[in-house]
Amino acid sequence: MDLKFPADLKYAPTHEWVRMDGDMATVGISDYAQHKLGDIVYVELPVIGAVLEKGNAACEIESVKAVSELFMPLTGEIVETNGNIADNPAFLNSSPYGEGWIMKIKVSNPDEIKNLLSVEKYQEMIQKEED
């Protein structure tokens, strides 16, 4: 596996990545997650305006073989979603950190950010999952 994990991102143990910009968090799924899911054929976009707690399901992602839930990595309001992935769900496979981003959250509890994993801790965690 030649998977990429950008060092400037934070990761949730549930395989979402987070890019912080002020109190706005851009969220997607990690390269590991897209690899595990296989070909993604449908993304049910999160509902804009929804206020959800960390760990709640934000949307569903369907691969050829199975359906998975995307969890909120942080508590907040969903303020924007990536409409391009509705027509091109394969962006989640081909560009999980770029064109395949899923949503932007206005974070309501910034203290939660420090509980996210650094790239090193996340890679350690998936290494353990694989062993």
Binding site for other proteins (CB under 8 A): 14-16, 29, 33, 36-39, 41-42, 44, 60-62, 64-65, 67-71, 86, 90, 129
Query: Shortest gap between Cβ of 7 and other proteins (angstroms)?
Result: 22
Query: Shortest gap between Cβ of 22 and other proteins (angstroms)?
Result: 26
Tell me the Cα Rg of the chain.
14
Closer of 70 and 74 to other proteins (Cβ): 70
115: amino acid identity, one letter: N
Distance of CA 91 to the CA centre of its chain: 13
Residue pair 20/10 in contact (Cβ under 8 Å)? The answer is yes
DSSP label at 48?
T
Query: Shortest gap between Cβ of 30 and other proteins (angstroms)?
Result: 9
Closer of 42 and 118 to other proteins (Cβ): 42
Number of residues assigned to the chain:
131
Closer of 53 and 129 to other proteins (Cβ): 129
Please tell me whether residue 44 adopts helix, strand or coil conformation: strand
Closer of 14 and 110 to other proteins (Cβ): 14
- Bridge partners of 26, per DSSP, are 19, 104
